[in-house]
Amino acid sequence: MLNISELHHIDVQTGAVALAGEIRSAVHAALADGVQNVFFASAGGVAFLSLPAVKLLQERSTFPVYAPRAAELIENGNVNLGPESLVVFTSVSGTTKEAIAALEYARAKGARTLTLVGTAETPLATLADVSFFNETADDTSSENFLLQTLFVALAIIDYRGESPDWDTTLAEIQLLPNALVEVKRSFEDRAAALAEEIKDEQNHIITSAGNTWFEAWYYGMCILEEMQWVWTRPVHASDFFHGTLELVEDNVSVLLLKGEDGGRALEDRVEAFVPRFSSKLRVIDSRDFELPGVSAETRALVAPVVLAAALERLSAHLEVVRDHPLTTRRYYKRVSY
């Protein structure tokens, strides 16, 4: 495969999964000590990676969960944030200024803080009440944080005796590190062909639903826009038919990510509509990838992780065929703003 260390990817995701038990213990301890709600308050692209976990809690648990943007939390506040809150932050660098400010704000409100970081001995690691470190970078961070925030949600569900069952689900998730590299391998040829196909296209509609919607949103904003300077229009599949459909005509590119939860019916609707008016519907479906030993219920939970693994291959090929390294920026961390 192009520009990848397979062993490194396996090692990072093995490290992510290995923290599941410690994350569970920390979350259980917080709930036993009186925590009554949870906030996921990261800044920037990693915030999207916690939203499948938020959605899981919203749909499977009665435990209150909030997901404000870090910077806006400071400006607007939230009456639910206080000593009975657990606030979760994720960060690759551990130095994101908006996240640090939000963490300090949460601590000032008496909340407990838990951080998941990809770089040790950084402010987000040292300032938190509890911090978990697994070394990760841009090419491995999506799967890493999708998994770790999922563990936070599953730990809450486990503590409260709700579904899905922790032991069964975790046993299956432990199969993922090796399986995700096989996902990448099986997608490699298609990733190369798709990168070549879209390399000169500067505008895309990208859509999905269910828990994979957040991966579509993330990939459009944080990869195609930030790392490739390609304009995207991320739109939820249910909203697609309330405005965005009028933009569809021949040669309009629509990237559709399909998952395996209830949102799939909404994705099917987009898939049926677009080819009637555009020849450029591109579908990436998590069901197309084999995950040996993983049940249908767990597959639905980890579909965002699977799509993130596949899309990393598309990114690797895009930077080559577009002669635009993924690390190239005009403004991000280059000018003050």
CATH at 206:
3.40.50.10490
State the total domains in the chain: 2
Residue 254 lies in a domain: yes
**166 and 202 belong to one structural domain:** no
Q: What is the pLDDT of residues 217-264, one digit of tens each?
A: 999 999 999 999 999 999 999 999 999 999 999 999 999 999 999 999
**167 and 182 belong to one structural domain:** no
Q: What is the pLDDT of residues 261-302, one digit of tens each?
A: 999 999 999 999 999 999 999 999 999 999 999 999 999 999
Residue 164 to residue 156: CA distance in whole angstroms: 11
**88 and 184 belong to one structural domain:** no
**154 and 198 belong to one structural domain:** no
Q: Quickly list H helices, the chain.
A: 6-18, 20-32, 45-49, 51-60, 70-76, 97-108, 123-126, 138-159, 166-173, 176-198, 213-218, 264-273, 296-321
**32 and 169 belong to one structural domain:** yes
Residue 176 to residue 149: CA distance in whole angstroms: 15
User: How much of the chain is in helix, strand and coil states, percent to nearest 5?
Assistant: 55, 15, 35
What residue numbers bound the domain in which 232 lies? Answer: 176-321
Residue 337 lies in a domain: no
Residue 281 lies in a domain: yes
Which pLDDT value is given to residue 10? 98
**pTM score of the predicted model:** 0.98
Residue 67 lies in a domain: yes
**182 and 155 belong to one structural domain:** no
**157 and 210 belong to one structural domain:** no
Tokens 């390294």 label which residue? 325
**20 and 151 belong to one structural domain:** yes
**166 and 181 belong to one structural domain:** no
Mean pLDDT of the chain: 98
